[in-house]
Structure 1
Amino acid sequence: MGRGRMPIGRRERAKQAKRERIMTAARELFAEHGVSGVTTQQVAHRADVAIGTLYLYASTKAELLIMVQNEKFAAAIDSGLAAANAAVGQGVLEPVIALLRPVVECLREHTENGRTYLHELVFGDPAEPYRQAGLALADRLEDGITGLFTHNEYIDAADAATLARVITAIIHISTTATLYLHRSDEAVLGDIRDQIHATLAPHHRAA
């Protein structure tokens, strides 16, 4: 026999199919109505599963949102890291902005959903599996920012990690604060750029 993975059984295929239907239904409904305008019953109905079955995959509406947003967040980070790597060599700021652009666009694609997602990651139960996955993605973003800063000879590893935490806080406020909801993505990114530039000023002077 070959050493490849054993084919999955019928039951497992059925579970995967149900999970995908639930994900698709939740993704569509959240995009159409926002998280506050959707119920778990609506998701179950569109996914063509019983409400009890839906709860086997996500026990609350918040968990459904996190499931959906985690996929989008992961894709945005992948895109941002690729863009940042292409911009390495253009100074410190440009690669960081290249990394953050798709992340900001993802979080602001539907502002209510993005705000609720970040709120749930920060204030929800960190032991819940979907939140664990979301927090791991947040760590990946922070690590990516840290890595970009370490390309600068005037920023040591400890400062790079601290700066990355500061910048993730800037992103959180800039993408969730009610004051900024009316602004365009470009305006928000411009404000983030200015804040990062100011944060890096001591290192510019050292250079």
Structure 2
Amino acid sequence: MSGRTPSVGRRERNKQDKLDRIIAAAGVLFAERGVDEVTTQEIADRADIGTGTLFLYARSKGELLLLVQNAHYRAALERGRAAAATIPDDLDAVMALLRPIVECNRVQIDNGRTYLREMVFGDPHEQHRGEALVIAARTEEAIAHLLTRDDRIPPVDAAVRAHIVSAIMLLAMGAGPNAAATVDDLLADIRTQIAVLVTA
């Protein structure tokens, strides 16, 4: 028996190529004009596929946005973890963790708010929404890990506090009155709200 791993078949390569083209096309168009101003036909045309093919990968623009943005949010979480790991103060560490996520959300504000809406209220069986919820759960786990560095906070309490911190961040990023707020404004607001939880 050969020890070689079988190569990926042509059909799988073609599927991956189409997916990559869809993500690239949607990513560029959404960044340029915002998700609400882009049609699925424009995405299909730019990806050089038919609209029927496009809908095999995502059934709506909301799902396409989740597909595109999930990779950005995963990367933001990893940047936040790396930054937080070097900071001894718990509140400062949590804020360092959250900063790249808030920055990611504000790259294109309408896209960021739509992403959150799709994550929270979208089809519960949709794959890309599920991936977004996994990212949110990993963010909470990372916050809880930082909080348990304080021996006075048991893991159960840290998990509850992390869930509240996450809810505060998501609400701050998604709230209509905050649509014009800068990253620093949002982070200052989040810090004020979570300080009592993190330092209690």
TM-score by length of 2: 0.96
Match of 2:61 in 1: 61
How many angstroms does 1:186 deviate by? 1.0
How many angstroms does 1:159 deviate by? 1.1
The one-letter amino acid of 1:155's match is I
The one-letter amino acid of 1:144's match is A
- RMSD (Å), alpha carbons: 1.2
Residue 131 of structure 2 corresponds to residue 133 of structure 1? yes
What SS does the aligned partner of 2:86 have? helix
8 A Cα contact 1:111 1:176, kept in partner: no
Residue 151 of structure 2 corresponds to residue 153 of structure 1? yes
Match of 1:6 in 2: 6
User: Which of 175, 193, 196 pairs up with 1:195?
Assistant: 193
| Gap regions ≥5 residues in structure 1 | none
Q: Distance in 2 between matches of 1:115 and 1:124?
A: 13
Match of 1:103 in 2: 101
Q: Distance in 2 between matches of 1:59 and 1:4?
A: 37
Q: Distance in 2 between matches of 1:138 and 1:71?
A: 13
Match of 2:176 in 1: 178
1:50-80 residue CA offsets vs partner (Å, 9 max, x unmatched): 1111111111111100000101111101111
- Moved >2 Å (runs of 4+): 1-5, 198-201
TM-score by length of 1: 0.93
Q: Distance in 2 between matches of 1:168 and 1:2?
A: 49
8 A Cα contact 1:22 1:54, kept in partner: yes
The one-letter amino acid of 2:103's match is E
The one-letter amino acid of 2:182's match is S
Q: Distance in 1 between matches of 2:191 and 2:4?
A: 48
The one-letter amino acid of 1:143's match is E
How many angstroms does 1:2 deviate by? 4.6
Q: Distance in 1 between matches of 2:124 and 2:86?
A: 34
| Gap regions ≥5 residues in structure 2 | none
User: Which of 116, 119, 122 pairs up with 1:121?
Assistant: 119
Instruction: Give the number of equivalent residue pairs.
Output: 200
1:81-114 residue CA offsets vs partner (Å, 9 max, x unmatched): 1111122xx2211110110000000011111111
Q: Distance in 1 between matches of 2:66 and 2:150?
A: 35
What SS does the aligned partner of 2:123 have? coil
Match of 1:24 in 2: 24
8 A Cα contact 1:31 1:110, kept in partner: yes
Q: Distance in 2 between matches of 1:192 and 1:5?
A: 48
Match of 2:45 in 1: 45
The one-letter amino acid of 1:10's match is R
User: Which of 73, 77, 91 pairs up with 2:89?
Assistant: 91
8 A Cα contact 2:147 2:198, kept in partner: no
The one-letter amino acid of 2:181's match is R
Q: Distance in 2 between matches of 1:19 and 1:2?
A: 31
